[in-house]
Amino acid sequence: MARFPIPTPLRQSAGGQKEVEVAGTTVGEALAALITEFASLHNHLYNDASKSRSFVNVYLNDDDILCLDDRDKTAVASSDTLSIVPSIAGGRE
């Protein structure tokens, strides 16, 4: 199990939920479970080749797991928070 707080820009693709709890013992399983539950999140997290997008970061607790060699195999515990941090650009208008 892991918790995904859903950032505002992606909430529409996650049934309006602020936080989603998904099954899985690794980051890969948790991400897969999230996509299974909310198919439209796939577009935001993966490109056409199903590789993770480089404008979205996934953090395990406060660490960027894109930096880990084998990100998908990283273990997650039920106390863990997986954060999706998408790029936003607002500020001037």
Binding site for another protein (CB under 8 A): 7-9, 12-13, 43-44, 53-57, 59, 62-64, 67, 83, 85-93
Task: Name the nearest CA neighbour of 83 among 70, 68, 69, 64.
Answer: 64
Give 49 or 90: the residue with its C-beta nearer to another protein.
90
- One-letter amino acid at 83 equals S
Q: Closest CB to another protein among 49 and 92?
A: 92
CB of 11 vs another protein, minimal distance in Å? 9
